[in-house]
Structure 1
Amino acid sequence: MPEPERTADGRYVVIRGRRWRASDPTLPESAREDLVGHLMSARRDVGTALRSRDPEAERLARSRVAWAKEGLGERGTPWWELTGDARRHRWEEALRRLAEQRSP
């Protein structure tokens, strides 16, 4: 799959004409893979919860989506405004929280 178009400053990707914050480019590949795996699992769980009309499961799944996206640097304080230590703390904390909330 080709890489999405990026803005000149590298902070955003452009998909179908819409700008989205890019993931933190300093993420180690292993952390990126773990966070993306958690994100995809959580998104599947949101769909399952919606189909089964389970608001508590939906709430938990959506919180996992938010943690994964924050760990990737796509939500929260923009990654380009954080120090290297703060960026590392963010993805480590997201992975810790996600490990505590593994999907059933």
Structure 2
Amino acid sequence: MHPDSPDPATDDERWLIVGGRRWRRTDPSLPEPVVAALKSHLGRGRSGVGAAKRQGDDDAVAASRRRVGLAKHGLGERGPYWWDEPEPARLERAREALRELDGLERTAGA
């Protein structure tokens, strides 16, 4: 990151180490209601992956994994590093992911 970057996040704020593996943390600039909604979609997506695998439904596995990926992108845990983007772009990415996830849920009738 460039020293004049708008977000001087430290490595501890960017990464979580679990079992020696490094995982990107959720963007700390996101409002709590947005984070809560995205994490709800993330949990339901993960649950859907497991259920679809147990049923042997490859299409449902793919749909649930897409939901997980969208939620993680919205949270800043995948895609561009959140600390390299301006906060307004990060918030818009999260809101766009949430709109798409909500649309998927309405389409699926869940």
TM-score, scaled to structure 1: 0.88
1:11-30 map, 5 Å: 11-30=14-33
Query: How many pairs are equivalent?
Result: 98
Matched residue, 2:4: none
Distance in 2 between residues matched to 1:95 and 1:8, nearest whole Å: 27
- Give the RMSD, CA atoms, in angstroms: 1.3
Could you tell me which runs of 5 or more consecutive residues in structure 2 were left unpaired when the two chains were aligned.
Answer: 1-9
Question: For the structure 1 residues 77 and 41, does the alpha-carbon distance in structure 2 shift closer, same or farther, using more than 3 Å as the test?
Answer: same
Moved over 3 A (4+): none
Bigger relative contact order, structure 1 or 2, given CA contacts below 8 A and separation 6+?
2
Percent sequence identity is 45
Q: Which secondary structure state, in structure 1, belongs to the residue aligned with residue 13 of structure 2?
A: coil
Could you tell me which runs of 5 or more consecutive residues in structure 1 were left unpaired when the two chains were aligned.
Answer: 1-6
Q: Which secondary structure state, in structure 2, belongs to the residue aligned with residue 75 of structure 1?
A: coil
Higher helix share: 2
Q: CA deviation at 1:9?
A: 4.6
Whichever of the two has the greater Rg, that structure is 2
2:48 paired with 1:50: no
Q: Which secondary structure state, in structure 2, belongs to the residue aligned with residue 56 of structure 1?
A: helix
2:96 paired with 1:93: yes
Distance in 2 between residues matched to 1:10 and 1:98, nearest whole Å: 26
